[in-house]
Amino acid sequence: MKQKALDYHSQERPGKIEVVPTKPTVTSDDLSLAYSPGVAEPCREIAKDPEAVFQYTAKGNLVGVISNGTAVLGLGNLGALAGKPVMEGKGVLFKRFADIDVFDIEIASEDPLKVIEVCQLIAPTFGGINLEDIRAPECFEIERILIDTLDIPVFHDDQHGTAIITGAAMLNAAELVGKKLSEVTVVFAGAGASAIACAKLYKDLGVKEEHLLMVDSKGVLHDGRADLNVYKQEFSRRTDARTLSDAMKGADAFVGLSSAGLVTPAMVKAMADKPIIFAMANPDPEITPDEVRSVRDDAIMATGRSDFPNQVNNVLGFPFIFRGALDVRARKINEAMKQAAVRALADLARLGTSEDIPDVVRNAYPGASFEFGPHNIIPKPFDPRVLLHVAPAVAQAAIDSGVARVKVDMDEYRRALEARAARIARL
């Protein structure tokens, strides 16, 4: 696998992305329009009306994938340069799944104020900014300040992507086990960016704050600990539980964003009836489906892996969330838009028996069942229908919540997305 991956990235043209002109550049007349003297005309129009930038440039379909490389995948602080293959990969996913163009920007600084300043200075280039692989807790402050100071969507996918996908899975899993979200108790293994974002979104979806219990490498976040930063303090609880094993006794749900093998079958056995288990450590989960099955036959399980049912993959979220946001020229991605994405994904998973599953999905999962149930609580990562469900939901939420610059006719918009989906299929 190592050599195969290195060959993939180095063969022919190095890297995974390139910039391609979208207008003719064959004749001298073409060049005079593309650059001097013709380019002066759109410049003048934009100077008169800044909103004209969306009409005359690529800004409206361009996202900046920005990182300082302090939390690269599961590899840690590799730095800006070593993080570049990941950022290029993110660009590939944006293009492949939502036809969004990307410039990846790697910032050689661990100072969050410098990261913020760079993003603020280059923001005019982009229709949106996707922050990536920036460590906690700095990522929280970077995102918050950029959301407050910029007039384009800023989205830290490491936080909200996982939260949105698991939020959809949690909605459907709770329905299948016959529990209301207001009644579900959730234990988190891990207290980093993803776990905190998941906990916040679950609260918005209906899980009670007192039903959320978080565990980091030192144990349960409880009110007797003096070592918690401000972000962890929000999830500190008055509890006698001190270990993950303590926390999982009687819990309805487990969300793992930590490390392989952290959960034992005995911990799962101690959970409530019909437990929901999201073990998302990669490449190996906190506990495997086989280990869970050895002690429980009533559990619903999801992991981050494609070889197990219910893969939680962020590609189900960020391309389509940005697609919807860009198409209404949203000024931000707010909570209403995130929840709209959650519910659109949850609804799509329920359509396994009422809509034809596309051949591309059937071919990717030969012999699999697509009927909504314990093994199908979220859509498959490569289901092309996700674009047609999530992007309109996000766009409508942006319009309804007042952050969209333009309004669109949803029927026309869906037809445009169908045409875009056809183009994507040819990529």
Window from 173-182, 211-220, 312-321, 377-386 with minimum mean pLDDT: 377-386
320 and 257 inside one domain: no
Candidate list 2, 8, 16, 35, residue with the active-site label: 35
Q: Are 188 and 257 in contact (CB under 8 A)?
A: yes
Please state, rounded to an integer, the average pLDDT across all residues of the chain: 95
Q: In which residue are the tokens 């976040």 written?
A: 221
**Rounded Cα–Cα distance for residues 64 and 106 (Å):** 10
Instruction: Give the sheet arrangement for strand 300-303, strand by strand.
Output: 219-220, 212-216, 186-189, 253-256, 276-279, 300-303
356 and 279 inside one domain: no
Is 48 part of any domain?
Answer: no
Q: What is the mean pLDDT of residues 101-126?
A: 98
pLDDT for 74: 78
- Amino acid occupying residue 202: Y
11 and 141 inside one domain: yes
Tens digit of pLDDT for each residue in 269-291?
999 999 999 999 988 999 999 99
Count of domains for the chain: 3
Q: Over pLDDT 70: what percentage of the chain?
A: 99
Is 51 part of any domain?
Answer: no
Q: Final residue of a domain: which of 257, 281, 303?
A: 303
56 is catalytic: no
Is 39 part of any domain?
Answer: no
pLDDT for 66: 98
Q: In which residue are the tokens 């990522």 written?
A: 139
Is 132 part of any domain?
Answer: yes
Candidate list 90, 95, 200, 380, residue with the active-site label: 90
**Rounded Cα–Cα distance for residues 404 and 395 (Å):** 8
CATH assignment of the domain containing 96 = 3.40.50.10380
pLDDT for 365: 81
69 and 129 inside one domain: yes
- Amino acid occupying residue 64: G
35 is catalytic: yes
Domain hosting 358: range is 314-425
141 and 6 inside one domain: yes
Tens digit of pLDDT for each residue in 299-339?
999 999 988 989 999 999 999 999 999 999 999 999 999 99
Q: Is residue 353 predicted with pLDDT exceeding 70?
A: no
Q: In which residue are the tokens 């490390």 written?
A: 259
| β strands within 148-307, DSSP E | 154-156, 186-189, 212-216, 219-220, 253-256, 276-279, 300-303
130 and 176 inside one domain: no
CATH assignment of the domain containing 209 = 3.40.50.720
Q: Final residue of a domain: which of 98, 124, 152?
A: 152
